[in-house]
């Protein structure tokens, strides 16, 4: 036991440079399950082979003891996983990635992120990120507290839309404070399952990690289990089975719109992580099912776009607001729904 504890301590002493950490406590309702299968549902982009290799190398621990990939987890198990990867500073390499720049001056950049690209390097995404492209196009960017040059805020990999990037230390500090103080304007367009009774309203509920699936966020009435979150919504267009809505964030929590919409019965269209890639509203007829499958092919991601971004310029104090068009895949699905509703006379 003492040798196992010494081993894990030695690994952790060097892990800031060459390992990624994940830790979980198995909840009371968990039935016996192989640890490799258990971890696959909780670590994003981790394949079963990668988990098995980590177990083989002795980098998966229950308590202080390394376990094999066929170990059966049980309630109360304290699991720690270490994955080796290049040092983070080695991931910050310039790459010739195209950027759609909406606005640029000496202090900041506003760009339109396409779907399918990650904002910065992380587990399973070591190359080809937006940050790699920024480092290629701009010689120097200030580092934030997480050593991520220029990054003030993020949007998910498969969410498209507007981001502001800081070019100076002062701009980074100023913009970060605006986001912290909730004085920025962030408006998204989302296509969600189901119809709304009201034309507008507010979803309120603290957001924290899902107790079983660590890749999801959940909504809690108890703020001690999450952070306060407010999402204002307005219906833009109704398609009977799905609805196009505008979402304005008063807070900016991880997966806020995705979690709020699911919790209140309107999961984002084709949001695979939250179950939106199944037919949640509509008929079971084969023609309708075929129609939905075609929609999923046109838009192979969650239907979410960061459309509007507003903030004060860090130097002049001028109010800036930027707007972006919906990307082609999103527009393609809306066109398909309009045609479907028209053909049915709905």
Distance CA 192, CA 241 (A): 9
Helix or strand run (H / E) with residue 12: helix 2-18
Distance, in Å, from the CA atom of 213 to the CA atom of 70, rounded to the nearest integer, reads 20
**Nearest residue to 175 (alpha-carbon basis) of 142, 136, 208:** 142
> Whole-angstrom Cα distance, residue 273 to residue 345?
33
Among residues 77, 156, 158, 271, the one annotated as catalytic is 156
Residue 201 CA to residue 245 CA, distance in Å, equals 11
CA distance 224 to 244: 32
Length of the chain, in residues: 346
Q: Could you tell me where the beta strands, DSSP code E, fall in 116-222?
A: 160-166, 185-193, 200-204, 206-209, 217-220
Distance CA 63, CA 257 (A): 36
**Is 158 designated active site?**
no
Q: What gap in Å lies between CA 61 and CA 9, rounded to an integer?
A: 12
| Residue 227 token pair | 């952070």
Angle between helices 328-344 and 286-298 (to 10 degrees): 160
Residues 306, 102: contact at Cβ < 8 Å? no
Q: How far apart are the first and last CA of the chain?
A: 68
Which residues are the active-site residues? 156
């Amino acid at each position: 036991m003492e040798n196992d504890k010494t081993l894990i301590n030695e690994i952790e002493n060097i892990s800031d440079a060459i390992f990624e950490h994940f830790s979980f406590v198995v909840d009371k309702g968990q039935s016996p399950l192989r640890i490799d299968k258990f971890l696959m549902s909780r670590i994003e982009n981790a394949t079963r082979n990668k988990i098995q290799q980590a177990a083989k190398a002795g980098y998966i621990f229950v308590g202080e003891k390394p376990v094999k990939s066929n170990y059966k987890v049980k309630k109360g198990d304290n699991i720690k996983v270490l994955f080796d990867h290049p040092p983070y500073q080695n991931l910050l390499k310039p790459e010739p990635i195209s950027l759609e720049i909406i606005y640029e001056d000496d202090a900041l950049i506003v760009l339109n992120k396409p779907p399918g690209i990650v904002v910065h390097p992380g587990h399973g995404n070591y190359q080809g990120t937006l940050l790699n492209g920024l480092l290629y196009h701009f010689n120097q960017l200030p580092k934030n507290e997480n050593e991520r040059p220029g990054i003030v805020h993020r949007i998910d990999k498969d969410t498209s839309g507007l981001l502001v990037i800081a070019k100076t230390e002062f701009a980074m500090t100023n913009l970060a404070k605006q986001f912290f103080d909730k004085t920025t304007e962030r408006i998204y367009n989302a296509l969600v399952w189901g119809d709304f009774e009201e034309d507008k309203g507010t979803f309120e509920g603290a957001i924290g990690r899902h107790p079983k699936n660590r890749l999801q966020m959940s909504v809690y009435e108890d703020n001690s289990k999450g952070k306060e979150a407010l999402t204002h919504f307005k219906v833009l267009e109704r398609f009977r089975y799905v609805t196009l809505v505008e979402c304005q964030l008063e807070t900016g929590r991880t997966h806020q719109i995705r979690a709020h919409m699911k919790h209140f019965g309107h999961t984002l269209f084709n949001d695979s992580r939250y179950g939106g890639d199944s037919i949640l509203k509509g008929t079971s007829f084969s023609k309708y099912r075929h129609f939905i499958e075609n929609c999923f092919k046109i838009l192979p991601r969650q239907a979410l776009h960061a459309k509007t971004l507003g903030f004060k310029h860090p130097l002049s104090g001028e109010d800036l607001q930027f707007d972006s068009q919906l990307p082609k895949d999103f527009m393609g699905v809306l066109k398909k729904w309009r045609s479907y509703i028209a053909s049915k006379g709905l």
